[in-house]
Amino acid sequence: MLILMIVGMAEARSQENKNGKTMKTYLIEREIPEAGKFTQEELKGISQKSCEVLKEMNAEIAWMHSYVTDNKVYCVYKAANKTLIEQHAEKGGFPVNSIQELSAKIDPSTATEEQ
């Protein structure tokens, strides 16, 4: 259910970036015990580390946003490929339990779209 909500909120279709390269959308699941208890300062630090690594990588990857639950963090990224997501996690010291390429976007308007 949560993953469907995230897919509904994330832009799931491949898009081209400003250099004309295809960027796919990925959902990353990170198991982080008690993530839901992180303070704003801790979340800020994690965010800063992620942004720092992305800047250093200077690659076809962008962090869109993340959702924090009790014991997991679900992150939505745009990237040219899955390997860039793995490299970002390794360089930043972030756990990765699952990386899924999103194949479609649905939301309430999907129920009323004409074929």
69 contact partners, CB below 8 Å, separation of at least 6: 2, 35, 36
Question: What is the pLDDT at residue 5?
Answer: 41
pTM: 0.80
How sure is the predictor about 21, in pLDDT bands with cuts at 50, 70 and 90? Answer: confident
Contact present, 68 and 30 (Cβ < 8 Å): no
> What mean pLDDT do residues 58-77 have?
97
Identify the structural domains of the chain with CATH numbers, from first to last.
11-103 (3.30.70.3090)
Contact present, 99 and 88 (Cβ < 8 Å): no
Dihedral sign for Cα atoms in the order 75, 96, 47, 52? negative
Q: Which tens digit of pLDDT belongs to each residue from 88-98?
A: 999 999 999 99
Q: How far apart are CA 76 and CA 110, in angstroms?
A: 21
Share the mean pLDDT of the chain.
88
